[in-house]
Every structure is written in C-alpha cells, then in structure tokens.
Structure 1
Amino acid sequence: MCGIVGIYHLDTPKPVDPARVAGMCDALAHRGPDGEGVWTAPGVGLGHRRLSIIDLAGSPQPMASSDGRAVLVFNGEIYNFRELRHELAAGGVHFRTDGDSEVILAAWQRWGTDCLQHLQGMFAFAIYDLEARSLFLARDRLGVKPLFYATLSDGSVIFGSELKALLAHPLLRREADPLAVEDYMTWGYVPDHRAILKNVHKLAAGHFLLLRHGKPLPVPNEWWDVSFAGRRSGRRAALEEELHALLQEAVRSRMVADVPLGAFLSGGVDSSSVVAFMANAGAQPVRTCSIGFDVAGLDETAYAQKIAQRFGTDHVTRRVSPDDFEAVEALAGMFDEPFADASALPTWRVCQLAREHVTVALSGDGADEALAGYRRHVFQRAEDRVRGALPASMRAAVFGRLGALYPKADWAPRPLRAKSTLLALAGDSAQGYARALAYTTPELREGLYSPEFQRLRGEYRAEQPLEALMRKAPARSGLDRAQYADLKFWLPGDILTKIDRTSMAVGLEAREPLLDHRLVEFAACLPENLRVRGRQGKWLMKQAMQRHLPEDILYRPKQGFVTPIAQWFRGPLQEAAREIAHGKGLAATGWFDQHHLGHLVEQHVSGRSDHARLLWQLLMLERSFTTLGLV
C-alpha cells in the first residue's frame, strides 16, 4: 500500500523537475512512511511513497523492468502474484525481487493492456514505456484504490493517489465545480464521475488510460464490468457450497503479508465471517480490534467480544466518547473533497487502534453491495412488485399526489415514514432507488440553493447519472440494477473512499476480501430469492455461515457505526452550525440561501426538527472549501 504521483507531458517531452515530483510525493507521506523515490526522463516523472508490506527490503519504487524499458509506480496488492510469477518465469522471465511490483511489470511486457485481466487484487498504478513513450494508468475492478488526474496549462497531465498530491503542483487551478456541489449535496460525497475541482478527474473503477506523446488526452477504456444478466442454476446446497468456497479463498488469499496482520471486528455478519475464515486458515490467533462507545445504544463490543472468544482471537477494544467532534478539521484534511458520511469518524478511530498492533487489517466491506445486504434492497424488491402491478400513469398520479401531501416525518417510527416511499413509487425503479440512496431530496435542495447556483447548475440534477447507469445496467430486475448501482456508484464513491482515506491517514493497509471479483461475479448471477428472501438480505451468505457463526450474530438487525451528530449540533457544535448560515465560509460562494439555512439551523438547535445530516453535510462542505482554499 502506497501513494503514487506523476507528471506526463502530452505534447512534447519537456524536462520534468524532480523536485516538483518530490513535492507531490511529500503530500502523500502518510500513505507511505517507509520509503520514497522519484524517477524522471524526458517528458515524464514518477514518484512513490512506500508502506512496506511484502518483500520489505527488495522492491523499492519507482521500479524499472529487467530490460530497463518500462518503469512502474504502484499502489495496492496483487494477491495472485506468486501464481503469475510462476507462469511468467516458465515463459523465460527472470525475476530479481520477491514482491508483486515486478510481476506487474513483467505482465505488462508480456500481455500489454490485457495484463489487467490476469491481476487479482486492489491497485492503481502507472507504467511508463520508454520505447513506446507511452504512459499506462490503470485502476482495479471495483475501485478499492483511488487515482486522480488533471490536465494543466503547460500541456502536462498530473496524477496522484489523492487530490492533495495534485494540489501540490502550482499550476493546478483551484476552482470549485458547481455540478460537483450538486452531486455532493445529493449523495454526501462526490461520485467518481466528477471531482470537486474543475478540470480534475478520477479514473473510474475498472478503467485504464493509455497516453502517448503528441496525442490528445484519450477517453478512459473500461476493462472490467460486472453483469447481473445471467442466472446460476443448480441446487441451493451446491450454490451454498460454492459461495462458502469463494468466501474462504477470498480471505485466505488476502492473508499474505510480511508484516503483522489482523482484522476489524464489529460483531456483524461480514466482519465476523472474515474473522472465522482467518481463524481457520492461520496457525496463530487472529489479531482483532473493535471500537466501542460510552452510549449503550451505540455500542456493539459485546457482539465483537463473543466472536473473539468463539475463535480465540487476540482481541483489543477501545471505548471512545461519542463527543469526538474535535476531529472535524482532521477529517476535512484527510478527504480533501467534501465527505459527509459521519461513520468516517469511528472508522478512523478503529484504524488508529489497529495500527498500534498491525500494519494490515482485513475488513468486511463489500458484502452488502455484492450480496444484497442493505435494507434498501429489501424495500426496492418489494416496491418493484408494486410498480409491476400498476401502470406508470396511475402510479405517478396517485402516489405522486399522496407523497406531495404526506408530511415528512424523520422523527417517526420507520413504518410511518411514508412520504419517501410514496414518492419513490410514483417514479420508475431507477428514480425510486435514487431517492433511497440520496442524502437530500430534489425538493430540499431547491430550497437550499441561491438563484445564482441554480443558474450555474442549469438542467443538471445529481440523480441523472445514477438513473442512467441503472437503466443501462446489464441486469434483469430492479434489485439487479440497484446492486449494480451500489457496486459502480456508491461503493467507490462512499465506502471505499472512506476506508482508503481513514486507513491511509494512519499508515494502515486495509484489505476487503468480500470484494474479490470472483465472489462479486458469482453473487451477481445468483437467483434473487437466494439474495433476498422475505425481509432478509444476504440470505445465501447467512445460510453458508451457519456452520461458523451463531444465530444472534447472523440475524440481528444491521447497525453500523453511528455518530451522534444531532446532539452535537444542539451542544458543542451549535455555534459551528450557526456559522454555516451566517459566517464567511459558504456565504462567500453566494451559492446558498443564507436565510433558509439560518431557519433550518434554528429549527434543529431548538429541537423542533432534526436536520443533523444536512448540517453535517454543510459543515463538511465548508471545511473542505476552507482546506482547498476555495473560500
């Protein structure tokens, strides 16, 4: 796990200043505290910060191929590098190191861009081919590892693992993209099709770029996609055994490391499953860690302790006060772009705890997206049955009118929160799922924005790319399309961004075995009733794990990390909330209706309404703008 940066001149191969590449590397020092390197040639410069995991002393980067033709910088892990190494060596390749970096170089020289199909792992890398004078940029299938890039006024393309690496280059323009603000205000993060700064891009998951001197910047090529169009046949018991074997192999393959390795353990199904397979695969006790809270309703450590005792893990727990609001500034600097998922705070804390004991930690992220584990998947399937039973015109007229009249009641028990369900049923499956995913509704955003921002936004709405993605998905059903959107949109934008930034901030490598692409491809072809059955998601996985986990772990309600932001904005962050509406931060943009914001703040502070998520969104946007120098 590392940080990578680079500069490449598209037009003519101008000299690249090594000090400029080194400056970009320095911005990523937290990602690679164990080493650094810079390499330049006419028209190109590559930089690397290393967190040593495999072949600790023998694989420094930037790394040149044995014939000197190609140079690599690489962030991530290739889990099948030993098998690939054996295959390439049989074909005559001579290896000088024992790590996975040199295997990528050899695979590139053997197969070209098709090398990506041979790599199993998480990665973002760049290879400069001195003979072809080309730069190859690639990102893993599901977007576990990030890669930002931008074109500059001097004709160069710069890239880096985080936006802060690009910000270290003096020619990068710092101008906020209003469409990215619309995206952020809708989803709580800036999705991968956009960046918070104009002219900055993210290489999408499962895509690559091949740049050549004298050629314009190409359109990224998609090299991997997941299809929900097929359906596996066969007996349920056989599919259950196949899923169990895939889970087992996914975990086993991610236990290769030359440094201490452990796991995050929340006591939920996913992290408990990972720990169960780790315990069965290793001779030594698994190192596990959990974060608990002083508030009983937020604390899951008893479940984590139960799993730790069941599998004899070397378990550590730390309780933290939910009053962790002082970390707001650090979070803004960690993410660069605005990021409103408040669970980033406890995720950061558990990464800090893990780093005190290990250098690599396995997480349970990804199973909900791959195997339909979210409550919204259950609702989506049920709502699609209603949509299928009634004509679209009738649904739009009846449910649309009822939804408009029904009061918003976030404070009420879930069965009484009918407004969002009625509005979702008024539209098609994609429109309904967009409402389920969104932090803010279109109606709420209209009241937040100033006339100037609405002019800049034009006809664009953040839901449009998600709805288009779902409608074009290789899928059969609404549930298929919802999961496809989760894997392609929500997962890289929110979940994987959160774990990458919070783990890398403390020099910890996080691995996600439940996102093994073979497991994801298998799950996408399961019949719907093996993913969702009744009100139970991840049904087949839970059946497969009954031999390892107790029922109170498998079937307890999903909780996740909770942060008490509603209380913060009525207490220690009350003045920060008022600053959102009346301060010099967001007000300086002229993009928000300050009077309306002030009204929402006072409603929340007084306890008349709960606008905590919206206020947190706005606070993180303001802090991000400040960090980026935009206000």
Structure 2
Amino acid sequence: MCGIAGLIAPEPVRDIDGILANMGAVLHARGPNARGTWVQDERRLGFSHNRLAVVDLSAAGQQPMCSASGRYVITFNGEIYNHADIRRSLEQSAAAPAWRGHSDTEVLLAAIECWGVKKALELSVGMFAFGLWDKERDELHLARDRFGEKPLYYGWAGTTFVFGSELKALCAAPGFERTVDRDALALFMRYLVVPAPHSIFERAYKLEPGCVLTIAGSAPKAPPRAPLRPGERHETMSIKRWWSLSEQFETGYRNPFPSEEEALREVETRLVDAVALQSQADVPLGVFLSGGVDSSLIAALMQRQATRRVQSFTIGSEHSSYDESAHARAVAEHLGTDHYEMFVSDADASSLIPQLPMMFDEPFADSSQIPTHMVCRSARTHVTVALSGDAGDELFGGYNRYLWAPGLWRQASRLPYPLRQLAARAAGSVPISAWDRMLSGIDTRHVGYKVQKLASALKQARTPEDLYRNLISEWREPQIVLGAKGVLQAPEGHTATMLRCADMRARMMFADSIFYLPDDILCKVDRAAMAISLETRAPYLDHRVAAAAWRLPMDMRIRGGIGKWALRQILYRHVPRSLIERPKTGFSVPLGQWLRGPLREWAETLLDERRLRSEGYFDPAPIRKAWQAHLSGRRNMMQSLWAVLMFQSWKDVWLGETSLSHERTH
C-alpha cells in the first residue's frame, strides 16, 4: 500500500521537484518505507510515490516505475492479487519483458504495454488507484479499482492539475484554494460523509470507483462547473467507466443460481480463492475478528489454508453493552488463532478525537471511525497487512434495514400520506427513555433511538426510495441547519441511483454497494488503517465473489427474518452455530453517553452559539435545539451532533482563522 501524488501544468514548473516532494511528504504514513519522484524532461509533469513495501521488498519494486520499453511511467497504490497469473499469461504470449523483480506494479505495466489500459484493468483482481503517463500518446490516465477500496482525489492548484491519494496532498500544492463547497457540505450534513465525485473543497473531486480519467495533451487550466461524471468531457479531460457495478449487479440479479447446492458451492469456492490470493504477502499478515458472521468466515478460511496460527485482532470496550470481545475470543479459540484484544476506554477515545481531522482530510462523521482506528493500531504492532470482513453486509443482506424496511413500507403505505405523517409524528414525540422501557425485551442497542429515527423517516417518505434515503440520512433537510442564504439543494449523485427491479431489498443492497460502501465503510477503513501504515484487504470485494453473491436468490440472503443466510451455512461448516447466532449490533461506541459526559465540554465549545453564528456555516438555532434535546435525554441526537462537531473540528485544522476570507459567496 502506498501514497501517490502528481501534477500536470500548462507550462514548465519552476520548483516541480520541491512541490512533488512536499505533496509526497504529507502522505508519509501511507508509505513509510521509501519515497521517490519522477519528473518529465519538460518539467510540466511529475509523479510522487511513498511506498509501504508488501510485495517484492527489494529496490526492484521502487516507484514511480517506468515500463520496460520506457513508454509508460506509473505511480501505483494498491495490490494486484493475481499478478502471478497475469505474469504467466504474458510469458505464454511471449509479451513478457526482461523482468527486474516480482512486484505487481511491474506486471501491471507489462500488461498495459501488451493489452492496453482497459484490458489490463479488466484482467486485474485487486484494489488500486494509480496515475499513468503514456509518453507516446502524451496522455495522463488516473484509474481507480472496481469498488473504490483505494482513494483518488484530483483538482486544480491555480492552473495546475493535481492528484493524490488524499486531499492533503492537493492542499500541499502551491495555489490550491481551500474553499468550502457548500453543496458538498450539504451532502455531508445529510449522509455524514462527502460522497464521490464531490470533495469538501470546490476545486477538488474524487474519481468514482471503476473509472478512468484521461487527459490528452495539456490539462484544462480550470475545473468544470460541476463534478465530471462518467461519460462526460471537459476540454481535454474525459472520464469513462472501465467496470460498471450496475451492469454486474443486474446481470447477477437476472441470472440466479438454479439450486441452493450450486449456489453455496460457488460462493464458498470463490471466497476460498479470494482469501488465498489476499493471504499472499512478503510481510506479516493477520485478520480482524469481531466474532460476527463476516469476519469469522474470513478468519476460518484463512486459518484453514495457513501453515501456522493466524494472528487475529479484536477491539473491546469498558462499556459492557458495547463489548463484543468475548464473542470474538470464543471464535478465535475454536479456530485456534493467536488472538489479541485491545480495550477502548473513554480516555482513549478523547485522546484520539483531535487526530481525526488530519486522519480523514475532510469531514467524516461515522463514529465507528474511533474503534476502527483503535483495532488497526493494535494490529499494526504485530502485522503489516490485515484481512477484514468488510462488504459482507452489502453483498449478502446483512443490514437490519433489509430485514424490516420492506415490511414496514408495505404496512405504512396502506395509510393515506397525511395519516401516515400523523402516526409517525406521534411515535416520534415519545421520549427515547419511554421507548427503551416499553421495548426493554428487545435485544438490540439504542432501541428507542432507532424507533424515533424510523418514525421520522416514515413521516417524510412518499416512496420506498424516500424511506431508504431517509434511513441513511441524518440532517434530512441540510439547508435548514446550514442556514446560508442561497445554498443550493445538493445533487444526490450515487444516492439517486436505484436498481430497476421489483424487490426493495435488492434495490437497497445495490444503493448501499454503490454509495454507502465506498464513501463510508471503505473510506473509514482506508484512512483509519493507513494513518498507522497498515494495509487492509477485503476478500468479499474480490469481484468474482461479488458476482456470485449477486446471483443468490433473495431467500438465500434473507430467510426467516435473518440476514446473510448463505454465508451462515458456509460458516457453520467451520464454526459452531452457537458461537455466531445473536442479534446484529454493529461496530459502535457509546457516543451519546460520551457527549453527555467526558466530551461535553469539548462539544459545548464547538457548538457555542456565538461561534456558530460568526463563522457563517451553520444556523445556530436548530443545532442548539438538538444539543439541548440530547443533553436532556428526550432525544438521542448523537449522530446529527457528531456531524456538526466533525465539521467544526475539521474546519479548525484545515481552514483556521482564514476560513471566512476563503469562503466564496454563492
């Protein structure tokens, strides 16, 4: 895993070596083992690379790397897991160069020389983002993997086009303006993340998963008026999809497995192959283990194939209702892994919070970022690479909303919309404490909070898509809390894309795969891990595993009110059912309690009414109302408040006191 950056300017850049060095320096944590730069002779183009050596630790794996013929230069971040297979295919076709080492980057360059960029990408199984210069065609290509495991930002610093693994690399380029994009801020307040193709800054964007951005000749001197989407062009720059998630999803949905036996056999075969591929490394490797279905299956398959005890890692909490370490310990004991536990205290969380703005570069308010970084930190003391169970929920039907949202909608939609609003308003008016008492027999966390959120989601839903979007939203009308005159209604981007099929559950899974998975889950894991130079890998995101998952009939994903049915059948061949079967709780922290307790003073400072008003980003009234409601215990506003707090913390680090002077009036 690595950190990449680069630039292309309309004319020679005086201090291009120094600029590239600075852009690379801020990405040091992503690649602490080596740093390199490459500059074109005309000095208008250059790449930077920070290396975390995982495959081929020798100097032969150093980057930026030139192809054997000298035509291509690449700065590459990620892993091509099947590089050995691609290498053999090249050798069989007599297209292989005189190999210098055994790195996956060298193989990718040879594949591009032999077959071109698109076919080389289609043959690659892995996670990656890279910048590639084609000297012969005078073209710059930026590419990102199928699901968006590895990040890639691009934008403009003055008239210079810049790109990098993280937004901080762009900020290090002279002339980059840190001007907050109000539309992106509105999206953040609604979804707790800034979704692609937006970034928090106006002149910077994220390349979407499965896409290639190409600049032919000179780069445009200014950005387009709106983020460029696949199939669109801006002067010499264009973006195309090299892989379409929607096409793959629909193909699988329309071609289900003919039998359960064949389905389970294919899913397990694909998973075994993916775990085997992703268990290859020239450095120590382990696995995250929560004790749930997804991570337990990855750990089981990994241990079954290993020649020695696998190292597994879990996180615990001093709050018993949030501590699932005992479940992970039991699974680890059954599998025979070398198991490590780390317990997070309130003091640990408080000490980490000031680091979050630099870790995530732009506002990010999924509070599970805290335990995620903690478990990564624990793993990094023993290994350089860790496998995870990420994407099991999206692919195999694990989220609770897949279980009850469709039935709830069928019942609620029978009521006229005004009556539905009235019923939802009544349910939402009951205090959380009252719901907790009434539903005390339900074995789930934050039951009162979830009932109130559900009631609010139903109150404003006219269609099933409205209900889904409301369920994944926090501030559903962000223009109210932003309070800035003229704030535009932010475009929905990925969240407006829903699969065209009758099954609401399939539509939600697709929407989560295309939006929530890359912009929240994968972003969180990447930043939390790379901040301490840990590479993470997700076997469920091998696209062949995903293709098998999408062919599962819905009753093999959700059956009897339980999600991930197919995965459970495979897992029970390795782990006793009694160690796994329990309600899904998620990876969370007692954020609501923290805000009323150890974090209250910190939060009060950031939510001060005079401060909010003077800074000009928020209307203090709805925020102070939410804060008082949370402190009183009438409502659990932890996520809504965390969004404001994460923006405020980020702003203090990235904008400082110059923020108002940089802010453009819309």
Verify same fold: TM over 0.5: yes
Residues 3 and 30, structure 2, Cα contact 8 Å, conserved in 1: yes
Over the matched positions of the two proteins, sequence identity in percent amounts to 36
Equivalent residue, structure 2, for 1:419? 455
Residue of structure 2 equivalent to 1:3? 3
Task: Quote the residue 1:457 is aligned against.
Answer: 487
Match of 1:396 among 395, 417, 439: 417
In structure 2, how many angstroms separate the alpha carbons of the residues matched to 1:421 and 1:177? 27
Deviation at residue 12 of structure 1 after TM alignment:
5.0
1:296 alignment partner in structure 2: 320
Counterpart of 1:106 in structure 2: which amino acid?
Answer: A
CA distance in 2, matches of 1:204, 1:184: 17
Asked whether the 8 Å contact 1:5–1:21 carries over to 2, the reply is yes
Q: Which moved more, 1:394-403 or 1:485-494?
A: 394-403
- C-alpha displacement at 1:461, in angstroms? 4.6
1:532 maps to amino acid: I
Name 1:544's counterpart in structure 2: 570
Deviation of 1:146 after TM superposition, in Å, equals 0.1
Deviations 1:399-423 (A, max 9, x none): 2343345434555244854623633
| TM-score normalised by structure 2 residue count | 0.88
Q: Is the 8 A contact 2:479 2:487 kept in 1?
A: no
Amino acid at match of 1:396: Y
Q: 1:104, CA displacement in angstroms?
A: 1.0
Matches within 5 A, 1:499-510: 499-510=525-536
In structure 1, distance between residues paired with 2:419 and 2:633 = 33
1:44, distance to aligned residue in structure 2 (A): 0.9
Deviation at 1:283, TM superposition (A): 0.5
Task: Please name the residue that 1:220 is paired with.
Answer: 239
Question: Partner of 1:487 in structure 2?
Answer: 513
Distance 2:176 2:12 in 1: 19
Instruction: Output the CA distance in 2 between the equivalents of 1:483 and 1:448.
Output: 29
Shift of the alpha carbon at 1:593?
Answer: 2.0
Question: What do the CA deviations read for 1:259-318 (whole angstroms, capped 9, x no partner)?
Answer: 000011111111111110011111110011111111221111111111111111111112
Measured in 1, the distance between the counterparts of 2:456 and 2:328 equals 34
1:255 paired to 2:279: yes
Alignment of 1:196-207 (within 5 A): 196-207=200-211
Partner of 1:116: 121
One of 171, 182, 187 as aligned partner of 1:183: 187
Q: Pick from 64, 74, 81: which aligns with 2:76? A: 74
Contact 1:448 1:596 in 2 (8 A): yes
**Residues of 2 paired with 1:360 and 1:585: CA distance?**
43
User: What CA deviation, in whole Å up to 9, does each residue of 1:79-126 have, x standing for no partner?
Assistant: 100000011122221221111001111111122232211110000011
The letter for the 1-side match of 2:401 is R
The count of residues paired between Structure 1 and Structure 2 equals: 615
Matches within 5 A, 1:514-593: 514-582=540-608, 586-593=612-619
**Conserved? CA contact 1:577–1:601, under 8 Å:** no
Pick the aligned partner of 1:371 from 387, 396, 408.
396
Letter matched to residue 552 of structure 1 = S
Corresponding residue for 2:19?
A: 20
Change (3 A) 1:476 1:600: closer
Distance (whole Å) between structure 2 residues aligned to residue 131 and residue 585 of structure 1: 55
Partner of 2:61: helix, strand, or coil? Answer: coil
Could you tell me which residue of structure 1 aligns to residue 311 of structure 2? Answer: 287
Counterpart Cα distance in 1 of 2:385 and 2:610:
42
Give the corresponding residue for 2:146.
Answer: 141
1:55 counterpart letter in structure 2: D
Consecutive unaligned residues in structure 2, runs of 5 or more: 220-234, 440-446, 660-666
Q: Which moved more, 1:104-113 or 1:495-504?
A: 104-113
1:386 deviation in Å? 4.5
- Mapped contact 2:74–2:132 kept (Cα < 8 A): yes
Deviations 1:209-232 (A, max 9, x none): 111114624232111123234131
2:227 is matched with: none
Q: CA deviation at 1:379?
A: 2.1
**1:511 corresponds to:** 537
Mapped pair 1:47 → 2:72: no
Question: What is the identity, as a one-letter code, of the residue corresponding to 2:587?
Answer: F
2:276 matches 1:272: no
Q: Please report how far the alpha carbon of residue 233 of structure 1 lies from its aligned counterpart in structure 2 after TM superposition.
A: 3.3
CA gap of 1:380–1:13, structure 2 versus 1, over 3 A, is farther
| Contact 2:285 2:383 survives alignment (8 Å) | yes
Within 2, Cα distance between the matches of 1:439 and 1:218? 35
2:481 counterpart letter in structure 1 = L
Residues 1:61 and 2:86 are matched in the alignment: no
Q: Kindly tell me: are residues 496 and 352 of structure 1, through their superposed partners in 2, closer, same or farther at Cα, counting changes over 3 Å?
A: same
Determine if contact 2:144/2:151 at 8 Å carries over to the other structure.
Answer: yes
Q: 5+ unaligned residues in a row in structure 1: which ranges?
A: none
Shift of 1:614: 1.9
Residue 539 of structure 1: how far off its partner (Å): 1.1
Aligned to 2:651: 625
SS of 2:189's equivalent? helix
In structure 1, how many angstroms separate the alpha carbons of the residues matched to 2:638 and 2:49?
Answer: 40
Q: Judging changes above 3 Å, is the alpha-carbon distance between structure 1 residues 124 and 475 closer, same or farther for their aligned structure 2 residues?
A: farther
Which residue number corresponds to residue 230 of structure 2? none
Q: 1:97 to 1:510 in 2, by over 3 A?
A: same
Aligned match of 2:384: 359
What is the SS of the residue equivalent to 2:279? Answer: coil
Amino acid at match of 1:184: F
1:231/1:527 contact within 8 Å kept: no
Work out whether residues 480 and 524 of structure 1, in 8 Å CA contact, stay in contact via their aligned partners in 2. Answer: no
- Work out whether residues 336 and 627 of structure 1, in 8 Å CA contact, stay in contact via their aligned partners in 2: no
| Secondary structure of the corresponding residue to residue 316 of structure 1 | strand
Give the aligned CA root-mean-square deviation in angstroms.
2.0
